[in-house]
Structure 1
């Protein structure tokens, strides 16, 4: 699974890329989504690479994100009690494991698929350059966790 975070805003976005960002549900800066690792999503990530950053996450970090920034439709926080009542899983950790294994989706449990994060502490690196050039955009691999921790 990939964690995808929008880094840049809407000014001057080409329509095709704007549509791709809408399909990924990344409507604002510092919003994050979890997407499967398949060719369809990889193509979308490549198309929007000048506006987003992404990388692989593990179940442990995903459970932290869900616990801290996850919201139920209606605005309530996601709790272990909610997960136990509305799913086959006992707590958020088990739910995160199931999401990583693609057994269940957040929307199936009435949990919003978008995580609204804070801007990162110490700021982004240059938001016009890719990771290889010393910026913030593009594929980060495992380093996405470091950025996301600064945003929780």
Structure 2
């Protein structure tokens, strides 16, 4: 079972290399503060490494998935994802059950009809705590951050 990764774009388009721009568009990260949930595969890891100066990522928890689905998930037509929609179009009874199933790889986000794959988050409340030009391990906000991505997501929802 591969863990799911939350990938958030931190920086904008200034000084962006064309290869990195292609990677970000393949990940559907077109604007800052957009987030996607992807599987942790070798090809995705290569894309994340190449774009690591513009994004941050880490393993997302079921609670964070549930929070994002409830507050920042939209369907085509800019309608919110609701428990009724989940009951009607999936075998799950609520958004919380759906989030647990997504975290356990029982269902993929693209299997839910009309669900937009990108979550448009707010800038983090209180701002970024460190520099957005340095990597997380060097005292910044970029790159791999592991489980700490969940606290950033909670501040951005």
For Structure 1 versus Structure 2, the TM-score category normalised by the shorter chain is over 0.9
2:28 equivalent among 21, 25, 30: 25
For residues 123 and 20 of structure 1, what CA distance do their matches in structure 2 show? 26
- CA RMSD of the aligned region, Å? 0.9
1:43-73, CA deviations, whole angstroms, 9 ceiling, x for partnerless residues? 1111110000001011122011100100011
State yes or no: 1:71 paired with 2:71. Answer: no
Which of 123, 131, 142 is 2:127 aligned to?
Answer: 123
List gaps (5 residues or longer) in structure 2.
none
In 2, the alpha carbon distance for the partners of 1:57 and 1:19 equals 24
| 4+ aligned runs moved over 6 Å, structure 1 | none
**Count of residues in correspondence between the two structures:** 152
Q: Specify the SS of the correspondent of 1:5.
A: strand
Answering whether residue 80 of structure 2 is matched by residue 84 of structure 1, we say: no
Q: Tell me the TM-score normalised to structure 1 length.
A: 0.96
SS at match of 1:97: helix
Structure 1: 5+ residue stretches without partners: none
Aligned to 2:150: 145
Cα pair 1:4 1:53 within 8 Å, conserved:
yes
